[in-house]
Amino acid sequence: MTSTRASTNWGGNLTYRASGLERPASLDALRRAVTSHKQVAALGTRHSFSTIADTGGTHIALDAMPARVEIDSARNIARVPAGLTYAQVAVALDAAGFALANLASLPHISVGGAVQTGTHGSGVRNASLAAAVTGMEIVRADGDTETVTDSGDLDAHRVALGALGIVTSVDLAVQPRYEVAQHVHVRLPWDAAQGHFDAIMGAAYSVSMFTRFLPEAVLSVWTKCRTDEDRALVPLERLGARPADGPVHPVPGGDPLAVTAQGGVPGPWHERLPHFRSSFTPSAGAEIQCEYLLPAERAVEAVEALRAVADLLAPVLYTAEIRRVAGETAWLAPNQGRDSVAFHFTFHRDAARVAEVLPVLDGALSDFSARPHWGKVSAMSGERLRRVYPRLTDFASLAKRVDPTGRFRTPFLRDALGF
C-alpha cells in the first residue's frame, strides 16, 4: 500500500482536497484502509468533472487490487474488479468470446467510477452501464464486506455516488461477442434532424449527433450498427447529409487517429462502441463537461430551447453530443424511470466562462425536468437536485443507515443529499 496524493482530476479543472491516497493490493488491506481514516472516498480513473470524487479525507484507489475477470459462461455473467478500466475488461471478455451491451464514449474509465455515476453510451434500447450490474461486493464504512444481489437493493446501489461503500467487484451481464460497423455522416440540416429525430436516433444500435446548436446544421451523425442485427438505416443522404470523406473527430480540429474505425468497417464491439481508442487521449483533454438527461419525448422541444441559446454557448463550447438512453430502475440513474435523451457539452477548460454559461443551460432546460450527470458540472443546487431525482431523499436515508458516522460523506454528497 503506498500513500501519495492524487492532485487533480483528468480534465485538470479540479484540484482535489484529499490529503492522501491509499492503494490497497488486497481485500484485507482495503478494509483496513477504510477503517483507519475518518473520511475516505473511492477514486477511479479521475474522469469526473464535478467534485463528486473529492474528499477532505483520504482517497482510496483500487488499481493495485487483483485484476482477474472471472466469466461464468453458463449464466452469462462476468465478475469484474471495480478498479479495472472498461478497456481492460473488454479485452478479457472479447478474448473469451463475450461482450457487454454497451460502452461510453471512452473505455479509459474505471468500472467502479462509471457505474457509480450512471455513465452511459447511446441507443434507444441501451440503458446505462450500471444497468448491466447484477450483483456487487462492497466494503462498508465499518470495514465489513457485503454482497448485494437482491434486485431492490441493487437499484439503490447501482448508481450510488460512492456514498454507500467501496465497491470491490461487480457482476456484469455479458453476451456473445458481436461486431459493429460505424458510419459517420456530416452536415445534416436541422429541419431533417428535428423532423426525423426519433427515426434517426432509433435507426441503429447506437446513434450520436454532434452539434454546436448553431444554424450551420448538425455537424455529424454517428451510427453504430451491430452486424448481427438487421435494422433499416435511415437514409441520411436523402435527408441532406453526406458520408464523411475520412475519419471524423467529435471535437473540431481533434486528432483523427484518436477515434475508433469509421467508414462502415466492421470490427469488435469494444473497438467501435466507444468513439475514442483506448490507446489515445480521448476528447480534447483540457476541457470541462456538462450533461443533462430529460424525457425522450421532449427531445425536439429541448433542441429548440438549446438552439435559442447557442450564441451564448458558442465562445466556450467545443462540441455537444445528443444521445438516447433507455430508461432503467436504478434510483439515482439520470435516466431512472424514463427513456431519455442526453445533451452533453464539451466546453473549453475555462472555469470562469463555463460558470457563466451553466446557468444559461440550466435555464434553457429547466422546463424539461432535466437531470444532470453526476460526474459532470452543473449549476443545479442540492435543493433542485432533490426535486428532479425523486429517490434522492430515500437514498439519503439509506446512506445514513449504512454509514452512520459519515465516513464516505463528502462535501458533494452533503450538498446533493441535504445533510
88 Cβ partners below 8 Å, 6+ apart?
67
Nearer Cβ to ligand FAD, position 207 or 239? Answer: 207
* AA letter at 124: V
Cell readout for 345 is 457539452
Cβ proximity to ligand FAD: between 86 and 190 the closer is 86
Distance of CA 341 to the CA centre of its chain: 14
For residue 98, give Cα distances in angstroms to 45, 70, 92, 122.
24, 12, 9, 20
Contacts with ligand FAD in 84-143 (CB under 6 A)?
Answer: 104-106, 109-110, 112-114, 116-117, 119-120
292 binds ligand FAD (CB under 6 A): no
Tell the residue number behind the cell numbers 467501435, with chain if given.
272
Q: Out of 33, 43, 131, 303, which residue is the one contacting ligand FAD (CB under 6 A)?
A: 43
Q: At what angle do helices 351-364 and 299-307 cross, to 10 degrees?
A: 130
Min dist CB 40 to ligand FAD, Å, is 9
Can you tell me which of 23, 31, 37, 47 binds ligand FAD, judged by CB under 6 A? 47
Q: Cite the DSSP H helix spans in 118-205.
A: 151-157, 190-195, 197-201
Q: Least distance to ligand FAD from the beta carbon of 184, Å?
A: 16
**Nearer to ligand FAD by C-beta: 42 or 209?**
42
CB of 112 to ligand FAD, least distance (A): 3
**Minimum CB separation from ligand FAD for residue 362, in Å?**
18
Place of cell 467508414: 263
341 binds ligand FAD (CB under 6 A): no
Q: According to the binding rule CB under 6 A, does residue 416 interact with ligand FAD?
A: no
Q: Does 249 bind ligand FAD (CB under 6 A)?
A: no
Q: Does 58 bind ligand FAD (CB under 6 A)?
A: no
Q: Could you tell me the three cell numbers for 13?
A: 479543472
* Shortest Cβ 347–ligand FAD spacing (Å): 12
DSSP string, 227-243: TT---PPP-TTTTT-EE
User: How many alpha carbons lie under 13 Å from residue 153 in its C-beta half-sphere?
Assistant: 12
Size (the chain), residues: 419
Other beta carbons within 10 angstroms of residue 415's beta carbon come to: 14
Taking the complex as a whole, the smallest distance from the CB of residue 23 to ligand FAD amounts, in Å, to 13
Quick check: 53 binds ligand FAD (CB under 6 A)? yes
Regarding 250 and contact with ligand FAD (CB under 6 A), the answer is no
CB of 58 to ligand FAD, least distance (A): 12
CB of 245 to ligand FAD, least distance (A): 26
Site for ligand FAD in 141-180 (CB under 6 A): 161-162, 166-167
Q: How far is the CB of 291 from ligand FAD (least distance, A)?
A: 7
Task: Determine, following the binding rule CB under 6 A, whether residue 254 of this chain makes contact with ligand FAD.
Answer: no
Do 155 and 333 meet the contact criterion of CB atoms below 8 Å apart? no
Tell me whether residue 239 or residue 274 sits nearer to ligand FAD (CB atom): 274
Least distance between ligand FAD and beta carbon 230 (Å): 27
If one asks whether residue 42 binds ligand FAD (CB under 6 A), the answer comes out as: yes
Residue type, 371: R
DSSP assignment of 53-78: G--SSEEEE-TTS----EEETTTTEE
Count residues near ligand FAD (CB under 6 A). Answer: 35
Residue 142's CB is within 10 A of a number of other CB atoms, namely 14
Strands 20-22 and 133-139: unpaired
Instruction: Considering only residues 271 through 290, tell me which ones interact with ligand FAD, judged by CB under 6 A.
Output: 282-283, 289
Which of 14, 18, 21, 62: binder of ligand FAD (CB under 6 A)?
A: 62
CA distance 259 to 279: 10
Dihedral (CA of 20, 21, 26, 27) sign: positive
Residues 375-404 that bind ligand FAD (CB under 6 A): 375
- Residues of this chain that interact with ligand FAD (CB under 6 A) are 10-11, 41-48, 52-53, 62, 82, 104-106, 109-110, 112-114, 116-117, 119-120, 161-162, 166-167, 282-283, 289, 373, 375
